[in-house]
Structure 1
Amino acid sequence: MSKTEGYDQEKKNLLESGVVGMFTGKTYFIAGHARLPQGMAARSIFDTLTITVEADAKYHVILEASCTLATDHGRDFIGQLLRGCSLQDGIEDLSRRIMDFYQGKAQNALMAALRDLHNQYLLYIQK
């Protein structure tokens, strides 16, 4: 069974049990941070850009993702790019998605925050 198939079955089981939206101990939350470039709207609110993810503890698949970009649209778009990828596969695919599909001023900060997030993930799995 592939990671995605296993995750899909586990998600189906959670949906059927009615516990979706309730913390079950089957996920974890990780954040990565990077400095924002000058001249960005989000810089007036935050000095750093943060990417946060909630991932499945078994397959390390990103279930939800967000970031501190200034607009809802930007935050939602980054969430769409990252959702469904497994952190245990490294960040190459995630990096490529950001480089190919996000063309805003925060691209380099997003990449740096993603690298920091992955480093935090590596520390987490070593525990």
Structure 2
Amino acid sequence: MEYKKSTIFVTGVARPSKDDPVASQYDLFFLSLIVDKTNDMIISAACNTARPMTEDFICSLIVNRNIETDLESITSEIRARFFGLLQKALIVALKDAHNRYSIAKKL
């Protein structure tokens, strides 16, 4: 897939809980985002999960949202709709990706 020159790739990381199946495969949970810096829209997302269904659901909560203006509403929706063991790690990774995006956008 080819992305516009206005897009950037950022990754947020967090430690999953020891109970999460992700922890048995990976030391860290990664949330990767492709964001269009002209409008701050998340156009694609991927993460390392134990099941493809989990990744699909996470992406449905994040893609086509504005990383700057929608961060709190995305976080609230994760708390209201995502009850996987990764919930806390997902929120931490999302906020980490947001911070990295804010730094990268200034460059």
In which range does the TM-score fall when normalised by the shorter chain?
over 0.9
Structure 2 equivalent of residue 108 of structure 1? 88
Root-mean-square deviation (CA, aligned residues, Å) is 1.2
Query: Does the 8 Å CA contact 2:37/2:105 hold for their aligned counterparts?
Result: no
Q: Which runs of 5+ in 1 are unaligned?
A: 1-20
Counterpart among 116, 121, 125 of residue 101 in structure 2: 121
Q: What CA distance in whole angstroms lies between the structure 1 residues aligned with 2:98 and 2:37?
A: 15
Per-residue CA deviations over 1:2-38 (Å, capped at 9, x if unaligned) read xxxxxxxxxxxxxxxxxxx323312111110000101
Question: Match of 2:12, SS?
Answer: strand
How many percent of aligned residue pairs carry the same amino acid? 26
Query: Does the 8 Å CA contact 2:42/2:66 hold for their aligned counterparts?
Result: yes
Q: What CA distance in whole angstroms lies between the structure 1 residues aligned with 2:16 and 2:76?
A: 20
Q: What CA distance in whole angstroms lies between the structure 1 residues aligned with 2:101 and 2:75?
A: 15
Corresponding letter in the other structure for 1:64: S
Q: What CA distance in whole angstroms lies between the structure 1 residues aligned with 2:4 and 2:99?
A: 25
Report deviation, 1:126.
2.1
Q: What CA distance in whole angstroms lies between the structure 1 residues aligned with 2:61 and 2:33?
A: 12
Query: Does the 8 Å CA contact 1:90/1:118 hold for their aligned counterparts?
Result: no
Larger RCO, structure (CA 8 Å, separation 6 or more): 2
Query: Does the 8 Å CA contact 1:34/1:109 hold for their aligned counterparts?
Result: yes
Counterpart among 81, 84, 102 of residue 64 in structure 2: 84
Query: Does the 8 Å CA contact 2:12/2:100 hold for their aligned counterparts?
Result: yes
Counterpart among 16, 36, 41 of residue 21 in structure 2: 41
Per-residue CA deviations over 1:31-59 (Å, capped at 9, x if unaligned) read 10000101211111111111111111210
Taking structure 2 as the reference length, what is the TM-score of the superposition? Answer: 0.92
Q: Normalized per residue, which structure has more helix?
A: 1
Q: What CA distance in whole angstroms lies between the structure 2 residues aligned with 1:25 and 1:93?
A: 28
Is 1:57 aligned to residue 37 of structure 2?
Answer: yes
Report deviation, 1:89.
1.0
